[in-house]
A and B are shown apart, each in its own frame.
Chain A
């Protein structure tokens, strides 16, 4: 990644982080104000008209604050991605953030998207990677599948560690339309060349897993020597 591109990404990150900070304050004020209304209604001995309706509306506000809080927390975390270029990552956690921020795109296709939890007995899969590049590659792989997946399909992401690499398998499970060719469709997908170009600077490769069917990202546990230094 060129220095000017890093500067551009850092700019977007900084602006987004600032905006999400403000949005958290907005939600915090809504949260406290609606909470105060709930407190006062709970204290009131009278039974005012519309009591039930107000209670229902306040419950809805609380639910939406929690929804917004969750989304903004993820967006804020994402905005801080460029803070440190190369870092040691817990891939389950990092993939979880990308998946959470991609849910809207999956929902538009009626596709379920999730990271499959590894067995609790296995140690976390960690790798030292450029976080922005890794997130972009994973998101692009998701986009490749979303361009092909049928409504009702599930894109399940499996993480595993090999001897000197880690693998991220995006398997699309469920029925495909009869006569369709998922493997050929992936290679012909508009985003496939982009995905290949994104995996290269990570020092990795991408291939089709014909059995699942799936996209397999194979990445090194440490960055290639030409990768930018941390900081």
Chain B
């Protein structure tokens, strides 16, 4: 399987580091950013194939990260993974180009499948 470059972005350190560890046990090698600013810097250095992005974060929030990344790197596939349940946020995220909108907590195998689908979509779009 092609190696997928994954970036996980969430300010809940316990959540995101444990999720990363579980992904590693499944053969994936994600990187982690603990806030929006750090995520943008990492994307500027090396755009990931797939980004898992929380919405509610202090500083630059997830929606703004989504907007900026899609503006500069439209081929990065972004999956929103949030505890936030407002329909208008889902509509806005999809309008800005989010590949998928998932709510916490999510089943790891389900999330892994969404990542593979997002990666496949990126390839099919001409990566």
Contact = CB atoms under 8 A, between A and B. Distances in A.
A25 B85 CA distance: 12
| 9 pairs of A and B residues whose beta carbons are closest in the complex | A24-B83, A31-B105, A28-B105, A28-B104, A32-B18, A76-B85, A21-B83, A29-B15, A24-B104
Contacts of B19: 32
A22 B87 CA distance: 18
24 contacts: A17-B86, A20-B83, A21-B83, A21-B85, A24-B83, A24-B103, A24-B104, A24-B105, A27-B105, A28-B12, A28-B15, A28-B83, A28-B104, A29-B12, A29-B15, A29-B18, A31-B105, A32-B18, A32-B105, A33-B14, A36-B22, A39-B22, A69-B105, A80-B86
Given A36-B21, A76-B85, 19 more contacts: A17-B86, A20-B83, A20-B85, A21-B56, A24-B83, A24-B103, A24-B104, A25-B12, A25-B83, A25-B104, A28-B106, A29-B12, A31-B105, A32-B14, A32-B22, A39-B22, A40-B25, A43-B25, A65-B105
B84 A21 contact: yes
Contacts of A65: 105
A80 B22 CA distance: 33
A7 interface: no
A83 B25 CA distance: 41
Where chain A touches its partner, the secondary structure class is helix
A65 B14 CA distance: 17
Nearest to A39: B25
Interface string A33-47: 101100110010000
Given A32-B105, A65-B105, A25 B15 contact: yes
Contacts of B103: 24, 73
Interface residues of A, number: 26
B32 to A, nearest CB: 13
A55 interface: no
Interface string B22-61: 1001000000000000000000000000000000100000
Contacts, number: 64
B88 interface: yes
B22 A35 contact: yes
A38 to B, nearest CB: 9
A185 B76 CA distance: 63
A29 B14 CA distance: 7
Contacts of B88: 83
Contacts of A28: 12, 15, 83, 104-106
Interface string A92-104: 0000000000000
Interface string B72-113: 000000000001111110000000000000011110100000
A93 to B, nearest CB: 12
A81 to B, nearest CB: 11
